[in-house]
Structure 1
Amino acid sequence: MYSHYGYNDFSVALGYKGDYIKRYFAEYGTLAGSITVNMGRPDPVVRHDQEHAPWTVDLIETGDETLTGGRVKRLQPHLGNGTFMLTWGDGVSDVDLDKLLAFHRYHGKLATITAVRPPARYGHMRFDGDQVTAFEEKPQTAEGWINGAFFVLEPQVFDYIEGDMVMFEHAPLENLARDGQLMAYRHDGFWAAMDTLRDKHILQKLWNSGQRPWAVWET
């Protein structure tokens, strides 16, 4: 998604089973395309299909027990001194990242959070008396906004994170809001989290059906 908008430099905060993520990227060139193996050569693997994603990915060990704020803090040496984007790995959305960044630069505060409407857990019925006049299968909630976890941040945000055992969603965001430094970009489009096996099955079903609005790189 980020690469679709031209953002190709990434820092990934590794924790539990981070070795799986390292192994994926270390072997990406081999696993993502066709290869020829010539066991008689010093370098036996010849890779075909050499055009791969233009990503630079820093895989940073941040500890198995470190909380979200602490993980962000540990990325600081790798992010430079400019504006950066942040997200978790468990949400998908069709939020326009260029518009999100433009909104952040317009208001000039330290932090922008994407506010989204969560999908309803159950279908929604409309009535005329006892007659059902409409049935909507799991619509986006008509009211209420939650943290969609697509952030744009200035480096001063690191000053709001005191150590490893800090949840980013608690004291840092609360104190940014207290100081008038947190703004919300309201996104009315698609957003979903994959927190449970049930969520995974729902998103997999959407993907297999071709109804995957978060796959903006396909448009």
Structure 2
Amino acid sequence: MKTVIFAGGLGSRISEESHLKPKPMIEIGGKPILWHIMKIYSHYGYNDFIICLGYKGYIIKEYFTNYFIHNADITVDLSDNSTTVHKDNSEDFKVTLVDTGLETKTAGRLQKVKKYLEGEEDFMLTYGDGVSNIDIKALVEHHKQNKKIATVTAIQPAGKFGVLTHDQLGNISKFTEKPSTEGSWINGGFFVLNRRVFDYLQSPMDNIMWEQEPMKALVADGELTSYRHSGFWKSMDILRDKVELENLWENNPQWKVW
């Protein structure tokens, strides 16, 4: 089963770094967050990826084109321009890199990779900025059992701030540091899709968000189910998120299932 990853957006909310590189190439622990996402899937045996490129997509192309050399010990003999590889630390990834346009929105990016999914009954889809300790095998099994066109992973994100419980006099009886949003489940990515999803991507989709018309149409037709994940999930939306992920990588990288 192949995995499609959205990696073409501008990442304007984390422009401190995204002005130099695509958001999925921002590093956590010396590796792009895109690599971390791929390692999650790879741990469960899914190593075939389709990356939807857009903003500064050439940087992602160069990263994977040179990945083998960058992750090996080598000797370069300048006298004859030969290279000897001594130790290979590369991954068992197969990566298809597709230019889906600079301004294309997510539905359009998915539409543009359809031809690379020929022969696939089901495939997976996620965003290039979110990590989780989700059980991918269980997610796929949930999708197969429910027999819907689309499955989305539902998560309860931690709040941005600590919550105080206090009386009218201001006396605090409880403090909870960044609790999960009680009762609210949101789109956490990590989709599993049947190829019939392209029936919902018929007209030109370049200006359409996957999360709007297509997903709403799937809901209206009763073809969208959710897989509830109560474990770790974190997206890198702003610089503070990157800092938090860096700290977690050093101390408790909960998404590091490999």
1:52-72 CA deviation, whole Å, 9 max, x = no partner? Answer: 211100001111111100001
- Residue among 95, 103, 110 paired with 1:57: 95
Q: Is contact 2:72-2:89 (8 Å) kept?
A: no
Q: Which amino acid aligns with 1:212?
A: P
Q: Give the total of aligned pairs.
A: 215
Distance 1:72 1:141 in 2: 30
Distance 1:49 1:72 in 2: 37
For structure 1, which runs of at least 5 residues remain unmatched after alignment? Answer: none
**Alpha-carbon offset, residue 19 of structure 1:** 0.2
1:139 aligns with 2:162: no
Distance 2:84 2:209 in 1: 45
1:120-179 CA deviation, whole Å, 9 max, x = no partner? Answer: 000123457854344332122222010001100000101212322211000000000000
Task: Point out the more displaced range, 181-190 or 131-140.
Answer: 131-140
1:200 corresponds to: 242
1:77 corresponds to: 115
**Alpha-carbon offset, residue 51 of structure 1:** 4.6
Matches within 5 A, 1:163-202: 163=204, 164-202=206-244
Distance 1:86 1:46 in 2: 37
Identity over the aligned pairs, expressed in percent?
Answer: 45
SS in structure 1 of the partner of residue 190 of structure 2: strand
Distance 1:50 1:190 in 2: 31
- Residue among 28, 44, 48 paired with 2:86: 48
2:192 corresponds to: 152
SS in structure 1 of the partner of residue 189 of structure 2: strand
1:211 aligns with 2:252: yes
Q: Which amino acid aligns with 1:151?
A: F
Q: Is contact 1:113-1:184 (8 Å) kept?
A: yes
Q: Which amino acid aligns with 1:150?
A: F
Distance 1:216 1:126 in 2: 35
Matches within 5 A, 1:111-122: 111-122=150-161
Q: Is contact 1:29-1:47 (8 Å) kept?
A: no
1:3 aligns with 2:42: yes
Given the superposition, is the C-alpha separation of residues 33 and 133 from structure 1 closer, same or farther in structure 2, using an over 3 Å criterion?
Answer: farther
For structure 2, which runs of at least 5 residues remain unmatched after alignment? Answer: 1-39
Task: Point out the more displaced range, 159-168 or 103-112.
Answer: 159-168
Q: Which amino acid aligns with 1:144?
A: S
1:86-134 CA deviation, whole Å, 9 max, x = no partner? Answer: 0010111111111100000001010000010011000123457854344
Given the superposition, is the C-alpha separation of residues 140 and 48 from structure 1 closer, same or farther in structure 2, using an over 3 Å criterion?
Answer: farther
Distance 2:229 2:110 in 1: 24
**Alpha-carbon offset, residue 85 of structure 1:** 0.3
1:13 corresponds to: 52
Q: Is contact 2:73-2:88 (8 Å) kept?
A: no
1:25-65 CA deviation, whole Å, 9 max, x = no partner? Answer: 011111112111111225x2212212521110000111111
2:22 corresponds to: none
Distance 1:32 1:139 in 2: 39
